[in-house]
Amino acid sequence: MHIDEADDGQIKAQIEVRNTAPPSSSGSEVVFMGVGLFIIDGREQPNRQWASKVKMSRSSGQQKDRQRYTQGYWIANHGDKRFPDFTHDEQSHGEVLFPGESLVYEIVLSEDELPYLEIKVEGTLSRRHIFHISQPMVDLRKWTLPPIAKTFKAVSKLDYAAPMRLVREKMPEFGPNTTLADIDSFRILLDKAVIQIGEKKKGLNEIYHSASNQELRGFLSQYIGEYIATTMRLFSLVLQAINSGDTVKMQQAAVEINEYQATEDELERQLVEMASQFGLNYK
């Protein structure tokens, strides 16, 4: 919870609710259903006007984890009724939080109301998910693993982050000591990096279409594809700043370039984790 106190006696409370459980590859998963705020008004004659002041927003969610429930085809005696990520009844009781997902509640209260209110975060652990079992047939890996290993090897060889690393290493400080020669030299390098990231995008598309695993294809498209698209946008932003001659814009663009390394590091971590799920090593 984060609390802001205003001078007019209004209290703004922000409550973040996060499912910190790690995702599971075996089917058994910690999923919370019926998540919400439970507020008790202790006044003799409760005035629930504060209820209309509660706002909720949620993260984009772990679509990669949710999508695996809808992949493939279900073969059983009762037709195509696969294990749903959540049922209508489960959703009707409150929010659903899969591992890594979060939501934020915001509520504005007066100091006069606060002494009478008790606020709780509540939720129910889904028994359906915690007892769900997904057991892959490992004897098939003799045929399924080689093409998956080939995809990981191709991603490693692609080195999709190379243009960004080059730009980050050669980028000037964009301060009072930066010369026109420094900027011109960097512009030439940046033009080359723009061409390179276009080649990386083409290479990623080829890897995507040749990949044999649906989950891996989804990761390539959703995460690495997004990384490349954002890299292209940042390169364009830096070029615009350089062409404008505005030092402040150059510095702001440089900050975004440097901060984007965190996304690169997270992508590499996820690739290592995904490869380990298949019993493989990435790089």
Predicted local distance difference test score (pLDDT) of residue 10: 86
Residue 104 sits in the same domain as residue 37: yes
Residue 176 sits in the same domain as residue 243: yes
Predicted local distance difference test score (pLDDT) of residue 9: 80
- 3-class DSSP assignment, residue 5: strand
* Strand order through the sheet with 55-58: 2-5, 10-18, 102-110, 55-58
* Structural domain boundaries, residue 12: 2-130
Residue 161 sits in the same domain as residue 244: yes
| Domain-ending residue, one of 102, 130, 158 | 130
Residue 172 in contact with residue 247, Cβ under 8 Å? Answer: no
Average pLDDT over residues 261-272: 94
Both tokens assigned to 145: 């693993």
Both tokens assigned to 275: 């490869």
Distance in angstroms (rounded) separating the CA atoms of residues 66 and 98 = 8
Residue 52 sits in the same domain as residue 16: yes
In the chain, the number of structural domains is: 2
Predicted local distance difference test score (pLDDT) of residue 277: 86
- What would the pLDDT profile of 81-134 be if each residue is shown by its tens digit? 788 888 889 889 999 999 989 999 999 888 888 888 899 999 999 999 999 998
Residue 120 sits in the same domain as residue 192: no
Residue 120 sits in the same domain as residue 77: yes
Provide the 10 A C-beta neighbour count for residue 263. Answer: 16
Domain contains 108: yes
Predicted local distance difference test score (pLDDT) of residue 42: 87
- What would the pLDDT profile of 158-196 be if each residue is shown by its tens digit? 999 999 999 999 999 888 888 999 999 999 999 999 999
pLDDT of 24 > 60? The answer is yes
Listed as own residue / partner, the contacts of 179-187 with beta carbons closer than 8 Å and 24 or more positions apart are: 183/242, 186/242, 187/239, 187/242
Cα dihedral 250, 252, 253, 257 sign: positive
Domain contains 41: yes
Domain contains 78: yes
Domain contains 282: no
Cα dihedral 206, 212, 219, 85 sign: positive
Domain contains 197: yes
Average pLDDT over residues 2-22: 89
CATH label of the domain that carries residue 73? 2.60.40
Predicted local distance difference test score (pLDDT) of residue 225: 96
Domain contains 209: yes
> In 3D, which of 232, 230, 208 has the Cα closest to residue 218?
208
For every residue of 103-167, DSSP letters joined together read: EEEEEEEETTTGGGEEEEEEEEE-HHHHT------GGGHHHHHHHHHHHHHHHHHH-TTHHHHHH
Residue 152 sits in the same domain as residue 243: yes
Distance in angstroms (rounded) separating the CA atoms of residues 182 and 174 = 9
Residue 196 sits in the same domain as residue 110: no
Domain contains 173: yes
| Domain-ending residue, one of 130, 149, 169 | 130
pLDDT of 61 > 70? The answer is no
Predicted local distance difference test score (pLDDT) of residue 115: 87
Residue 50 sits in the same domain as residue 108: yes
Distance in angstroms (rounded) separating the CA atoms of residues 262 and 197 = 18
Residue 199 sits in the same domain as residue 243: yes
Average pLDDT over residues 198-205: 97
Domain contains 283: no
| Domain-ending residue, one of 101, 130, 159 | 130
Average pLDDT over residues 201-223: 94
Residue 6 or residue 239, greater confidence: 239
Percent of the chain with pLDDT over 70: 97
pLDDT averaged over every residue in the chain: 90
Residue 7 sits in the same domain as residue 107: yes
Residue 33 sits in the same domain as residue 82: yes
Which residues contact residue 87 at a Cβ distance below 8 angstroms, ignoring those fewer than 6 apart? 128
